[in-house]
Amino acid sequence: MRRFPPAEVILGIAAKDEPRGAVALDYFLDNHVQKYVDYTPDTHANIAFVPATHEGKKKLVRPLEVFSNSDWQLLGFPVLDPTLRQDAVNKLRIKEHPPTDQLVRLLEASPPTTESQAREWFGVLSDRILGLCNAQSGGCVLIPTRLPSF
């Protein structure tokens, strides 16, 4: 007999609608240090259990799809639901920013369509300029200093 349910079971329940899902997530967070310290987002990447806001709607997303910095919502990324407990970011190991390659793919696939949108996007990206440098290749993603004509 098991002393406690495995993380997959608890997070699977957390992926269900309210109120059971919220109770399961709270159980996971309350017992993280004692029972689920080996949790990693990578091993549970296919379970959409993290409460987030995306395109103005609340939904559950996978842990590698959501970011804790609400600025990324401007670029269309899901961000952590602000009503979620403060300790959830650390326990669920939610990243603050999207990885550089994901940002580059976004800009290539769907660049901003208006000047105001470009200003917003590049304003968010300018805060991450150092993070956009790739340490492995030594290269940097160049953000234009002049906005294109729309």
Cα separation, 34 vs 16, whole angstroms: 24
Confidence (pLDDT) at 126: 84
Q: State whether 36 and 79 are in the same domain.
A: yes
Q: State whether 15 and 74 are in the same domain.
A: yes
Confidence (pLDDT) at 9: 94
Whether 15 is in a domain gets the answer yes
Domain count, the chain: 2
Confidence (pLDDT) at 146: 47
Q: State whether 66 and 117 are in the same domain.
A: no
- Name the DSSP letter for residue 60: E
Q: State whether 104 and 123 are in the same domain.
A: yes
Confidence (pLDDT) at 145: 44
Whether 1 is in a domain gets the answer no
Q: Would you say the pTM of this structure is higher than 0.85?
A: no
Q: State whether 132 and 76 are in the same domain.
A: no
Q: State whether 80 and 120 are in the same domain.
A: no
Tell me the mean pLDDT per 10 residues along the chain, length 150. Answer: 88 90 95 93 96 94 96 94 92 93 89 91 80 51 50
User: Whose structure tokens read 């159980």?
Assistant: 27
Domain span including residue 33: 7-91
